[in-house]
Structure 1
Amino acid sequence: MGNPGCGKTTVGKILGEKLNRTVIDVDDDVLEPTWRMSVSEKLFDVGGERFLEEEGQALCNFPTPTKSVISLSGSNPLHQKAMRHTKQNGVMIFLDVPQTDILDRLEKMKVDRIVGQEAGIGMAEILNYRQSFYEKQHDIRVTCCSGDTPEIIASKLLSALKNVHNDPGYVSTRGSDCDQPSTFLDTVLQGLAKDGGLFVRSTELPTMPRYEQQRLIDMNYSDRALRILHRWINPLEIPGGQLRDFVLKAYSKEAFQDAHVAPVRHLEKNQYLLELFHGPTASFKDYALQLMPQLFSKAVRNNDKHSKYLILVATSGDTGGAVLDGFRRHSGTVFNDTGVIVLYPLSGISELQKHQMTTMDGRNISVVGVNSNFDFCQSTIKQIFNDIEFNKTMKEQFNTKLSAANSLNWGRLIPQIVYHASGYLDLVKQRVIALGDEIDICVPTGNFGNILAAYYVKMMGFPIRKLICASNSNDVLTEFFITGCYNLRSRHLLKTSSPAIDILKSSNLERLLYHTSGNNGELIKNLYQDLQDHNHFSVSEEHLRKLQSMFVVGSCSEEECKSTIVQTLKNTGYLLDPHTAVAKTVADRYTSDVPTLITATAHYGKFGDSMLPWVDRHCVSDYTSEVVLNRLNDMSSHPPLHLGLKDMCQKPITHTVQCQPDIQDITKYVVDIARKM
């Protein structure tokens, strides 16, 4: 399907010949034999509205032969009943040809049989109207380049069909070549692989050619997201039209305060900020967690609708609030049987982060403060997942399965790919660079999921030169990328003003090591066994050189973080949060002759209790959260006050459960929640 003039008829004939299938052109083989007049005569005889109804009815009555190629009319997708009937019999492929090409072709063809023409509507307006129907109805999109011949389009279409029907699936980072791959929806439900590894693509990573990147430049965030995500999600699992619905719901104006969703702002010199704090909880985690609950819901409906699910989450500050809001906001009927438990370190996050989570309302969510650090919370959840007997008991006694919503879950990670790609495209759109020019991306890094998503963008073919991995005083990653040794033997977690990256065990590093080792699951299994047994592992010199060819690293002390916030406010009038300040501090040390896109991961308001004394000499220690936010906003209107944080300050605390760092106590709490579901 596609707009008039996109080449459906010619491409359909080529496809039929190559696949040895019957070719049916709806105009020539269905409509005109049914009406016994030409399509243009019918249109001008009955008018546009009646034409669409009779056209749709004719298609519904047509007995579709098996093993056929059907070239729809340009207006067929405007009739819902006809499209439901047609989609039952096959895969719907959208030939997405640039509108400029369509208009040129229609002008040359002197086409006079398009619904809307009889009413005097301009052709560009007709095409724009129809585009939304093609977006709703398609399963697979074939993106065409300006000037593509029918032969080229047919070749792209055959390649797309081959890719979706031969999807390699997902395997564990610790698995072997003989392991049975999982589907995308399986990975979303399971969270972790059964052997304790993380799910990854089993073969090559998806790519996006330059001409497709070009098509994305003038699109909004949701349209970019749809096209990028379908490089990673098999449309036979989540068809394009359904994924579009998920994306539009996730990145709606009700959830995100900025119309651009993830805008790029110039900071100073050659540095630009990718603002990722405009979502409901003022954190970059919102960009994944407004979408992931919908993917999870789809997975439950498709794969396991008779089981209950309990999602366990460890948070270093931002993930918890975003998970709670995402599952609460997007909880359809399936979530009547889905619960969420968030574990957070009692003294390891900011007061505003804690208040945000403990005031979140929702009947299916629970929040537990643990008198320990994030690493304990995360390792506890991993132990619970890997306890085969416990999971068996949960299923047998409560019909409940466990899953994850941290970036350990593949469905949580891939939405983050979108905003790094979108940031690059915005730099092109703003004419900072030309398409194909390189940039560097700097990311404040703890669990390694955010910067891993940027790595995937680089692997897709976007011109990312260096990935700058910025750590705070917990600089285990800095040491690793310099020495090749991941060493926790003499380390203790330090509390900093950037708590979301106060992490020593960076879980998503495992995925990077898998990809850069040639997908060597046995090696990764041994490395992480060494980490578990001896608190360290080392990679080979060759492996280290490969990592160093892509990554630049650095760390930032507390004093440097404070200085960067104060100095940036003075120089630019922009108030950074501590995590973004960590990234800027490290980026400042790396002399770059290309633009650096700094990932601004949170709004400053979430860390006002630690930041306010740095920028306001007259502050006192007993300010309420609302006063802290207002005083910080008085210091700078860039970025503006986050309304969601302001509203949160008025809410009463509803989650008061706290516990000691005892895995048995936490396990009992999990059982209690499962019993009540």
Structure 2
Amino acid sequence: MNLMYRSTRSHSEPMTASQAILKGLAEDGGLFVPQSIPELKIPLEQLGKLTYQETAYEVMKLFFTDFTEEELKKCINSAYDDKFDTSEIAPITNADGAFYLELFHGSTIAFKDMALSILPHLLTTAAKKNQVTDEIVILTATSGDTGKAALAGFADVDGTKIIVFYPKDGVSPIQEKQMVTQKGENTFVIGIKGNFDDAQNGVKAIFGNKELAVTLKGKGYQFSSANSINIGRLVPQIVYYVYAYGKLCEKGELQPGEKINVVVPTGNFGNILAAFYAKNMGLPIDKLICASNDNKVLFDFFQSGAYDRNREFILTTSPSMDILISSNLERLIYKIAGDDADKTLELMKALSTDGKYIITDGMKENMKDFLGGYATEQETAKTIKQLYDKTGYVIDTHTAVAAAVYNKYQTESKDTTKTVIASTASPYKFTRSVMEAIDNKYDSMTDFELVDELSTLSGTAVPPAIEEIRQAEVLHEKVCDADKMQLMVEEILG
């Protein structure tokens, strides 16, 4: 029996997984959610014996029920191959009493690779299943990591084009260089004068423009999304939590059935929502700790039940979390409202018009699995240095936000539950911030000199993703105002 998907904002007809993946965003502006969250079928005792690819199949077959076994395994094996620099795909490092789940061993050295490596395969398979002949235009806003991972995944994929918008002054130099040097005849990268929320709002407005959709349909184009608003992005993220649990059992760090806490640095809420879905599937997760940087809109939400984006937008050293509108939170809102599309629509309208909403006491009670914490810039830098000084292990700024929040939580709560920290990016991606946190003597070095210094200091090899952009030619130089994004799309698509 097929698991169907519905919008968070209406009572429209449910769709199959492949249809929801193709559309990306529902026509009413809502996000697709499964009508129920399936139960993990494989016993916990057996999880540790599975490879990453086998774990991915066990999870994804429960969500993507209209894909055949052959189709799904082909997607999985095409995605999780030698583009990852470790055979484990997502190795775990034990450092100072916490388990760091390293999600940055893919081709763009950030956790987005874990889902964006498979999305092009899911999308093109879904197109064939639904007899779609239009060229699929992937339209994406990025706060730094999604952009490059999506570009790498979709570059020169037949039947697709990809257009990425990013905040011109809101990503790290390495992140920007990775995007603007991207090869591929079907790739387009545009900087906007504004922040990530401006880029994300612009993309949502383009998706919601019915007249534009009709015009482009006439030219043989159909929009889809590579952001985590696409269910084809979200479900693959569930896999690595299931995989991590199995590996910790296999190593004797956990007994099957023993609960863990999970700490996730998050801005758009997709990564921690995937952990929430894993918990609802039966994975023994206790606390879901949502770690924010100085843009602590999610922390304030979990404290008060009020989501309010009417605040200063702060540029930090963890730019992928510099977000005030957490799109994937809508899926949690829908769930804690009792799968109530009318209530979700009401709250999302309030967010759109007033920039804020307040959930009911009943909804607040339904999200008691979550805790919020935040780390200041100073605390983030201090955590990088302390962990390095103590263990020699170097983490990036986003992971450091999570580690700082975890340290504070543990000190205050005395909770001794074993904890997995989602390590979402390689320190090589944010080299200057990482190296300056460890020692301020590096100010005069260039970004690539710092890369070599980090390699020496950490005893790790410079990732191929960094080596390949040292001398790479800049291929994308377009910049536009945030209100001109649609014009740029129309220009690209002729």
**Does residue 1:552 correspond to 2:371, yes or no?**
yes
> Considering only aligned residues, what root-mean-square deviation do their CA atoms show, in Å?
1.3
1:305 corresponds in structure 2 to: 132
Please list the CA deviations of residues 382-434 of structure 1 after superposition, one character each: whole Å capped at 9, or x if unmatched: 001111111111112x1211111100111111100000111111111110111
493-502 vs 626-635, which deviates more? 626-635
Aligned equivalents of 1:187, 1:621: Cα separation in 2: 49
**Does residue 1:188 correspond to 2:9, yes or no?**
no
Please list the CA deviations of residues 194-236 of structure 1 after superposition, one character each: whole Å capped at 9, or x if unmatched: 100000012x210114x533322111111111111111111xx
1:429 corresponds in structure 2 to: 250
Please list the CA deviations of residues 237-259 of structure 1 after superposition, one character each: whole Å capped at 9, or x if unmatched: 21112211211111112x10011
1:226 corresponds in structure 2 to: 57
Task: Give the counterpart letter for 1:641 in structure 2.
Answer: V
Aligned equivalents of 1:224, 1:499: Cα separation in 2: 31
Aligned equivalents of 1:427, 1:524: Cα separation in 2: 37
Q: Which has the larger radius of gyration?
A: 1
Q: Is the 8 A contact 2:3 2:64 kept in 1?
A: no
Task: Give the counterpart letter for 1:580 in structure 2.
Answer: T
Please list the CA deviations of residues 407-466 of structure 1 after superposition, one character each: whole Å capped at 9, or x if unmatched: 011111110000011111111111011100000000001000000000010000010001
1:534 corresponds in structure 2 to: 354
1:168 CA displacement: 4.5
TM-score (norm: length of structure 2)? 0.97
Aligned equivalents of 2:489, 2:118: Cα separation in 1: 25
Task: Give the counterpart letter for 2:81 in structure 1.
Answer: S
1:159 corresponds in structure 2 to: none
1:321 corresponds in structure 2 to: 148
The residue correspondences of 1:116-265 to structure 2 (distance < 5 A) are 164=1, 167-176=2-11, 179-202=12-35, 204-209=36-41, 212-234=43-65, 237-253=66-82, 255-265=83-93
1:120 corresponds in structure 2 to: none
Please list the CA deviations of residues 626-671 of structure 1 after superposition, one character each: whole Å capped at 9, or x if unmatched: 212111112212x543222122222111111111222xx2212111
2:119 corresponds in structure 1 to: 292
Quick one: higher RCO (CA 8 Å, sep 6+), 1 or 2? 2
Aligned equivalents of 1:649, 1:297: Cα separation in 2: 32
1:392 corresponds in structure 2 to: 214
Aligned equivalents of 1:656, 1:607: Cα separation in 2: 22
Please list the CA deviations of residues 12-67 of structure 1 after superposition, one character each: whole Å capped at 9, or x if unmatched: xxxxxxxxxxxxxxxxxxxxxxxxxxxxxxxxxxxxxxxxxxxxxxxxxxxxxxxx
628-637 vs 313-322, which deviates more? 628-637
Q: Is the 8 A contact 1:626 1:646 kept in 2?
A: no
Please list the CA deviations of residues 84-116 of structure 1 after superposition, one character each: whole Å capped at 9, or x if unmatched: xxxxxxxxxxxxxxxxxxxxxxxxxxxxxxxxx
Please list the CA deviations of residues 365-395 of structure 1 after superposition, one character each: whole Å capped at 9, or x if unmatched: 0000111100000000000111111111111
Correspondent of 2:94 among 266, 282, 307 = 266
Q: Is the 8 A contact 2:435 2:442 kept in 1?
A: yes
Aligned equivalents of 1:402, 1:227: Cα separation in 2: 29
Please list the CA deviations of residues 251-284 of structure 1 after superposition, one character each: whole Å capped at 9, or x if unmatched: 112x100110001110112x11000010000000
Task: Give the counterpart letter for 1:248 in structure 2.
Answer: N
Unaligned runs of 5+ in 2: none
1:365 corresponds in structure 2 to: 187
The residue correspondences of 1:588-599 to structure 2 (distance < 5 A) are 588-591=407-410, 592-599=415-422
Aligned equivalents of 2:276, 2:394: Cα separation in 1: 27
Aligned equivalents of 2:115, 2:371: Cα separation in 1: 25
Aligned equivalents of 1:660, 1:621: Cα separation in 2: 33
TM-score (norm: length of structure 1)? 0.71
Aligned equivalents of 1:382, 1:294: Cα separation in 2: 23
1:382 corresponds in structure 2 to: 204
| SS at 1:247 equivalent | helix
**Does residue 1:496 correspond to 2:300, yes or no?**
no
Aligned equivalents of 2:95, 2:436: Cα separation in 1: 23
**Does residue 1:651 correspond to 2:484, yes or no?**
no
1:611 CA displacement: 2.5
| SS at 1:230 equivalent | helix
Please list the CA deviations of residues 105-128 of structure 1 after superposition, one character each: whole Å capped at 9, or x if unmatched: xxxxxxxxxxxxxxxxxxxxxxxx
**Does residue 1:418 correspond to 2:235, yes or no?**
no
| SS at 1:367 equivalent | strand
1:148 corresponds in structure 2 to: none
Aligned equivalents of 2:133, 2:464: Cα separation in 1: 39
Q: Is the 8 A contact 1:466 1:551 kept in 2?
A: yes
Identity of aligned residues (%): 37
Task: Give the counterpart letter for 2:302 in structure 1.
Answer: F
Q: Is the 8 A contact 2:167 2:196 kept in 1?
A: yes
Aligned equivalents of 1:453, 1:611: Cα separation in 2: 27
Q: Is the 8 A contact 1:198 1:510 kept in 2?
A: yes
Please list the CA deviations of residues 314-354 of structure 1 after superposition, one character each: whole Å capped at 9, or x if unmatched: 0000000000001127x2xxx2x311000000110000000
1:622 CA displacement: 5.2
The residue correspondences of 1:273-672 to structure 2 (distance < 5 A) are 273-328=100-155, 331=157, 335=158, 337-396=159-218, 398-489=219-310, 491-547=311-367, 549-591=368-410, 592-621=415-444, 623=446, 625-637=447-459, 640-662=461-483, 665-672=484-491
Task: Give the counterpart letter for 2:77 in structure 1.
Answer: L
Aligned equivalents of 1:542, 1:620: Cα separation in 2: 51
Q: Is the 8 A contact 1:629 1:646 kept in 2?
A: no
Unaligned runs of 5+ in 1: 1-163
Aligned equivalents of 1:324, 1:168: Cα separation in 2: 30
Aligned equivalents of 2:137, 2:192: Cα separation in 1: 19
